[in-house]
Structure 1
Amino acid sequence: MRSRRLPISLVPLALVAGTFCLAPPTDASADAGTLYVNDRLLTCSDTAENRGTQARPFCSIQPAVDAAQPGQTVEVAPGVSYKGPIVLHRSGEPGQPITLEGNVSRAVTGAYPVVESTTATGLTADHVHDVVVRGLAFRGYRQGAVLTDSSAVTLDNNMFDATTTATSGYTPTDSGITLEGASADVTLSRNLVRFHPAAGISVGPGVTGTIVTTNVVEDNGGHGIVATDAPDTAVTGNTVSLNCGSGLVLDGSSSHAAVENNIVAGDDLLKAGSATAPACTDQDQPEVSVSAGSAAGSTLGYNIVHPRGTAQPYSWAGTPYADAASLLARTGQGGHELNTDPGTRLLPPADQSPAIDSADAGAIGELSTDFQGRPRVDDPLVGNSGTGDGGYADRGAYEVQDPFNVSLAGDVRAAPTLAAFTFTAQVNNPWNDTVSYRFDFGDGSAAQPAATPTAQHAYQATGTYTVTVTATTTSGVSRSATTQVTVNPPGPLTPYLGVESGITGEPLHVRATFDGRTDPWPVTAGTLDFGDGTAPTAGSGVLQHDYDKPGTYTVVGTLSDAGGRTATVSKQVSVGGQFVPVTKTRILDTRSGTGAPKAALSAGHVLALQVTGRGGVPRDGTTAVVLNVTETAATNAGNVIVYPGGAGTAPATSNLNYKAGQTTQNLVTVPLGPDGTVNLVDSAGSADLLADVQGYYTTDGTTPGAGYLDVLTPVRVLDTRSGAAKATVGPGKTLTLDLSKNVSAESAVLLHVTATGATGNTYVSTYTTGSARPDVSDLNVGAGETVSNLVAVRPDSHHRVTFFNHAGSTDLVVDLVGVFGADVAGDASYVALAPHRVLDTRYGTGAPAAKAGPGGTLTVKVTGQGGVPAGAAAVLVNLTGTGASANTYVTAYMPGSDRPVASSLNVTPGATVPNLTLVRVSQAGYITLYNHAGTLDLIADIEGFYTPSAF
Structure 2
Amino acid sequence: MSCLPDIGQWQPQLPKEVLLLPPTRTTTVLLAAGLVTLLGVPGAAAAEPAPSALYVNRAAANCTDGGPGSQAVPFCSISKAAKVVEPGQTVWVDAAVWHYKESVTIDRSGEPGKPITFDIIPGEPDPDTGEVSDTYATDGLTISGASHVVVRGLTTDDGIRVHGSTDVALDGIGNGWGQIHGLVVGGGSEDVRVTRSRLHSARVEGGSRNTLFGRNTFFAQNRLEAAEVVDAPGTVLTNNTVYSGCKEGIGVSGGSTGSKVFNNLIYPADYCSNFEPFRSIGVSESAAAGTAADYNLITGGLGQNSPVRTPYQWAGTGYRTPAEFTAATGQGAHDIVVASRDGVGAHETGSPTVDSGDPTAPGVLPTDIHGGPTADDPRVPNTGRDGGWIDRGAEETQDRLSMVWSYVSQNNWAPVGTAVGVNISTDSNWQSTLTYHVDFGDGTAPVVSKKNFVEHVYSSPGVYNVKTKVVTAVGREVAGSTRTTKVTAPGVLTADFTATPVLPTTIDTGNRLAPMTVRIDTPGATVAPWRVGSQKVDFGDGTTSSRKGLEKVDHAYKTPGTYKVTVSLTDVQGATSTATKTVQVDYAPSGYVATEPLRVLDTRTTNTPIKGGSAHPVAVVGWGVPDYGLSRSVSAVVLNVTVTDATEDTHLTVWPSGQSRPATSNVNIARGGTSSNTVTVPVGADGKIQAQLNAGKAALIVDVVGYYQPNVGERFSPLAPTRVLDTRTSGGALSAAKTRTVKVAGVNGIPADAKAVALNLTGTGATQPAHVIAYPDPAKRPATSNLNVEPGKDKSNQAIVPVGPNGTITLFTNSGSTHLVLDAVGYYGKDGKALFTPVVPKRLADTRTTGKVAPGATTTVSGLPADALGAVLNVTATDTTAPGFLTAYASGATLPGASSLNTLPGTTVPNHVTTPVGAGGKVSIFNSHGGPNHVITDLLGYFTAK
Residue 539 (structure 1) shift: 1.6
Q: SS state of the match for residue 666, structure 1?
A: strand
Q: 2:602 aligns with which of 585, 596, 610?
A: 585
The answer to whether residue 693 in structure 2 is matched with residue 655 in structure 1 is no
Distance 1:506 1:401, change over 3 A: same
Distance 1:252 1:371, change over 3 A: closer
> Can you list the C-alpha shifts for 1:693-714, whole angstroms capped at 9, x where unaligned?
3379xxxxxxxxxx99997338
Distance of 2:17 and 2:388 partners within structure 1: 24
TM (norm. structure 2) is 0.50
* Aligned residue identity for 2:146: S
Distance of 2:222 and 2:495 partners within structure 1: 69
Q: SS state of the match for residue 369, structure 1?
A: coil
Distance 1:249 1:654, change over 3 A: same
Q: Which residue in the other structure is 1:14 paired with?
A: 10
Q: Map of 1:360-439 to 2, 5 A cutoff?
A: 366-370=364-368, 375-381=373-379, 390=388, 392-393=390-391, 400-401=398-399, 403=401, 409-410=407-408, 418-428=416-426, 429-433=428-432
**Contact conserved, 2:373 with 2:474, CA < 8 A, in 1?**
no
Q: Which residue in the other structure is 1:71 paired with?
A: 46
Q: SS state of the match for residue 422, structure 1?
A: strand
Distance of 1:338 and 1:918 partners within structure 2: 92
Distance 1:731 1:130, change over 3 A: closer
Residue 780 (structure 1) shift: 0.5
Q: Which residue in the other structure is 1:26 paired with?
A: none
Q: Which residue in the other structure is 2:713 paired with?
A: 712
Q: 2:700 aligns with which of 673, 679, 692?
A: 692
Larger Rg: 2
Residue 763 (structure 1) shift: 1.0
* Aligned residue identity for 1:691: A
Q: Which residue in the other structure is 1:836 paired with?
A: 842
Q: Which residue in the other structure is 2:75 paired with?
A: 119
**Contact conserved, 1:495 with 1:559, CA < 8 A, in 2?**
no
Distance 1:455 1:401, change over 3 A: closer
**Contact conserved, 2:466 with 2:485, CA < 8 A, in 1?**
yes
**Contact conserved, 1:124 with 1:146, CA < 8 A, in 2?**
no
Q: SS state of the match for residue 714, structure 2?
A: strand
**Contact conserved, 1:237 with 1:395, CA < 8 A, in 2?**
no
Residue 377 (structure 1) shift: 0.3
Distance of 1:287 and 1:934 partners within structure 2: 110
The answer to whether residue 287 in structure 2 is matched with residue 324 in structure 1 is no
Distance 1:176 1:694, change over 3 A: farther
The answer to whether residue 546 in structure 2 is matched with residue 537 in structure 1 is yes
Q: Which residue in the other structure is 2:216 paired with?
A: 262
Residue 181 (structure 1) shift: 3.0
Q: 1:148 aligns with which of 95, 100, 108?
A: 108
Residue 944 (structure 1) shift: 9.6
* Aligned residue identity for 1:14: W
Q: Which residue in the other structure is 2:523 paired with?
A: 516
Residue 432 (structure 1) shift: 3.7
Distance of 1:513 and 1:201 partners within structure 2: 73
Distance of 1:508 and 1:877 partners within structure 2: 24
Q: Map of 1:739-818 to 2, 5 A cutoff?
A: 760-761=766-767, 762-764=770-772, 778-781=786-789, 787-788=796-797, 805-808=814-817
Distance of 1:177 and 1:161 partners within structure 2: 20
* Aligned residue identity for 2:651: V
Q: Map of 1:123-272 to 2, 5 A cutoff?
A: 131=88, 148-150=108-110, 159-161=120-122, 174=137, 180-184=143-147, 186-188=149-151, 203=161, 205-207=163-165, 210-213=168-171, 215=172, 227=183, 230=186, 238=196, 248=200, 250=202, 261-262=215-216
Q: SS state of the match for residue 816, structure 2?
A: coil
Distance of 1:439 and 1:306 partners within structure 2: 45
Q: Which residue in the other structure is 1:85 paired with?
A: 54
Distance 1:140 1:909, change over 3 A: same
Q: Which residue in the other structure is 2:334 paired with?
A: none
Q: 2:567 aligns with which of 525, 532, 557?
A: 557
Distance 1:418 1:163, change over 3 A: closer
* Aligned residue identity for 2:54: P
Distance of 2:349 and 2:446 partners within structure 1: 35
* Aligned residue identity for 1:713: E
> Can you list the C-alpha shifts for 1:667-693, whole angstroms capped at 9, x where unaligned?
556999xxx9964348xxxxx985323
Residue 665 (structure 1) shift: 1.9
Distance of 1:732 and 1:646 partners within structure 2: 39
Distance of 2:564 and 2:902 partners within structure 1: 46
Unaligned runs of 5+ in 2: 19-42, 57-69, 126-134, 252-265, 282-296, 302-339, 589-594, 626-635, 718-722, 742-754, 803-809, 829-836, 851-856, 891-897
* Aligned residue identity for 1:332: R
Q: SS state of the match for residue 702, structure 2?
A: strand
Q: Which moved more, 1:505-514 or 1:451-460?
A: 505-514
Q: 2:676 aligns with which of 660, 665, 668?
A: 665
Residue 666 (structure 1) shift: 1.6
Distance 1:522 1:851, change over 3 A: farther
Residue 426 (structure 1) shift: 1.0
* Aligned residue identity for 2:736: P
Distance 1:148 1:692, change over 3 A: same
Distance 1:757 1:548, change over 3 A: closer
Distance 1:461 1:544, change over 3 A: closer
Distance of 2:196 and 2:928 partners within structure 1: 91
* Aligned residue identity for 2:430: W
* Aligned residue identity for 2:536: L
Q: SS state of the match for residue 367, structure 2?
A: coil
TM (norm. structure 1) is 0.50
Distance 1:251 1:382, change over 3 A: same
Q: Map of 1:453-468 to 2, 5 A cutoff?
A: 453-454=452-453, 456-461=455-460
**Contact conserved, 1:630 with 1:663, CA < 8 A, in 2?**
yes
Distance of 1:515 and 1:781 partners within structure 2: 57
Distance 1:613 1:263, change over 3 A: same
* Aligned residue identity for 1:376: T
Q: Which residue in the other structure is 2:255 paired with?
A: none
Distance of 1:546 and 1:158 partners within structure 2: 61
**Contact conserved, 2:357 with 2:391, CA < 8 A, in 1?**
yes
Say how many residue pairs are matched. Answer: 708
Distance of 1:236 and 1:766 partners within structure 2: 84
Q: SS state of the match for residue 270, structure 2?
A: helix
**Contact conserved, 1:838 with 1:941, CA < 8 A, in 2?**
yes
* Aligned residue identity for 2:577: T
Residue 368 (structure 1) shift: 0.6
Distance 1:391 1:572, change over 3 A: farther
Distance 1:839 1:205, change over 3 A: farther
> Can you list the C-alpha shifts for 1:324-371, whole angstroms capped at 9, x where unaligned?
33479646358748999999xxxx979999997698867875521357
Residue 555 (structure 1) shift: 6.1
Residue 182 (structure 1) shift: 1.3
Q: SS state of the match for residue 433, structure 1?
A: helix
Residue 788 (structure 1) shift: 3.4
Q: Which residue in the other structure is 2:535 paired with?
A: 527
Q: SS state of the match for residue 324, structure 1?
A: coil
Distance of 1:133 and 1:342 partners within structure 2: 43
Q: Map of 1:22-37 to 2, 5 A cutoff?
A: none
Residue 506 (structure 1) shift: 7.6
Q: SS state of the match for residue 45, structure 2?
A: coil
* Aligned residue identity for 1:516: P
